[in-house]
């Protein structure tokens, strides 16, 4: 979607319809969001990528169904089971993201929070694993 102006415009239009966004005088959708790319060197980027995809799921699905984009984008369609798996992974990564955010504060010392920040995700993951 990011590499094609026509697909990006279709994506923004889908967001405008689904999220009640307005257009400015130049016709650009105000407040349209872009997909987030995973960056191997950035903490929490996978969580950010999956969270944004979940937020924009209906807009993504709408663009993938457009006949003019179907040929190139059909292989990117995600099944209901796939979306469920994405949600599960995002739930697991959100736990680590919260711990990382707690340790990334710049306005106050965080060293004393290091052990709780590590123990909390582990306990939450164990709880998820046990059902």
Per-domain residue ranges for the chain? 1-77, 79-131
- Tell me, what's the pLDDT at 118? 72
Quick one: how far is CA 91 from the chain centroid? 11
How far apart (Å, rounded) are the C-alpha atoms in residues 20 and 38? 27
Residues pairing with 29 in the sheet: 23
- Tell me, what's the pLDDT at 106? 67
- Tell me, what's the pLDDT at 47? 96
Q: Does residue 5 have a pLDDT over 70?
A: yes
Predicted TM-score (pTM) of the model is 0.79
- Tell me, what's the pLDDT at 85? 96
For residue 109, name the pLDDT band (cuts at 50, 70, 90).
low
Q: Does residue 16 have a pLDDT over 70?
A: yes
């Amino acid at each position: 979607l990011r590499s094609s102006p026509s697909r990006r415009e279709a994506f923004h239009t889908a967001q405008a319809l689904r999220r009640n966004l307005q257009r400015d005088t130049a016709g650009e959708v105000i407040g349209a969001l872009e997909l987030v790319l995973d960056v191997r060197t950035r903490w929490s980027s996978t969580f950010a990528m999956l969270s944004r995809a979940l937020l924009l799921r209906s807009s993504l699905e709408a663009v993938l169904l457009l006949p003019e984009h179907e040929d190139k984008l059909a292989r990117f369609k995600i099944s209901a089971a796939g979306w469920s798996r994405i949600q599960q992974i995002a739930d697991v990564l959100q736990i680590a993201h919260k711990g990382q955010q707690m340790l990334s504060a710049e306005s106050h010392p965080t060293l004393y929070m290091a052990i709780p920040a590590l123990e909390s995700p582990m306990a939450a993951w164990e709880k998820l694993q046990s059902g």
